[in-house]
Every structure is written in C-alpha cells, then in structure tokens.
Amino acid sequence: MEKFKVLLVDDEEDFVKSLSERLEMRDLGPKVALNGKQALESLDEDATGVVVLDLKMPGMDGMEVLRRVRKAYPNVQVIILTGHGTDKDEEEAKKLGAFAYLQKPVDMDRLVDVLKKAHKKFKSIKHGIDTALMAASMAQAGEVEMAREMMKEVSEDDEKES
C-alpha cells in the first residue's frame, strides 16, 4: 500500500495515540491533533489529504472543524469517527461533505479500507486540478489542441472511477 499522511483529530489522547500506532503498523503516516484548533493549524502547516475527525470535543466541535476544512481545503477528505454521534449528526456531516461517517469502536480493517478510498479520491481530485491548471496554461500559450487532449484524459479517468 502507498504510504500517505492521515491527520487524526480526537480529544481522547489515549485513543488517538493508540489509533496512531495501529495505523503506523499499517504503513500509514498519522499525525495527531487533540482539538479542532490544533487540527486547523496542522492543515495550515502541511495540508494532509485525509482527516479522521471526532465530533464531540471541547472548544471547537467536529462539525465546526468540518465546516472550516471544507471551506479552506475543499479537496481534503474528512472521515468522521465518533462514539457519540446521532443519525442527525451523520446527516449533517454528509451534507457538509464528509467522505464517511463511522462509529467507535471501529474495525481497523474497515477504517483502513475507508482511508484508502478517501486518499484515492483526494489524489484523483488533486490530479484533475493539476491537469486543468496545466491545460489552461497550454491553452493560454496557444496550444489549444494539447489542452483539449489533457482535459479529455482527465474526463476519461473520472468516468473509469465512477
């Protein structure tokens, strides 16, 4: 499996450290934030493609963190992992653009599978944006046909993944 970074955000320090260790054993690169403020600061320093986020935290709760991440980092995939969530919370998280909504305790194989899918989506979006920017530059430089071909490839890749 390709190693990638995951930001774990949870105020339960023992839980998040244990989860971090378990993900490291699976060759993932976890970073830990113990509250919403730390999470946003961490993303400002080093935008990670996938965030695992608890909902119930003192100060800034997970829904507010999700709102701010969606606004500042729309490509970042956020997985809600909570032990105290409700159906209403799940509905709101999905409306706000959460990639997935999982309950604690979570099966590690299931979590890793969801993390891989979220990372794949992040990479796909990032690749599409990078290619679109390159195509725009080529079109501006007069290489319109080359730009069309680049965008056609992105479109075909998107259709394959759907």
Q: Which residues contact 11 (CB under 8 A, 6 or more apart)?
A: 34, 35, 54, 56, 57, 58
Instruction: Please give the average pLDDT of every successive group of 10 residues along the chain, which has 162 residues.
Output: 84 96 93 97 92 96 97 95 93 97 95 96 78 74 76 65 54
pLDDT at 84: 85
Q: Examine the domain organization and report whether 84 and 22 are in the same domain.
A: yes
Domain shared by 78 and 94, yes or no: yes
pTM higher than 0.85: no
Model pLDDT, residue 144: 80
Same domain, 134 and 98: no
Domain encompassing residue 114 = 5-118
CA angle 96, 113, 28 (to 5 degrees): 95
Say if residue 73 is in the same domain as residue 137: no
Residue 102: predicted pLDDT: 97
Q: Per the omega criterion (within 30 degrees of 0), is the bond before 105 cis?
A: yes
**Count of alpha carbons within 13 Å of 8, Cβ hemisphere only?**
24
Tally of domains within the chain: 2
Predicted confidence at residue 137, as pLDDT, reads: 77
Same-domain pairing of 40 and 101: yes
- Tell me, what's the pLDDT at 130? 65
CATH number at residue 27: 3.40.50.2300
pLDDT at 150: 64
Residues 99 and 149 in one domain: no
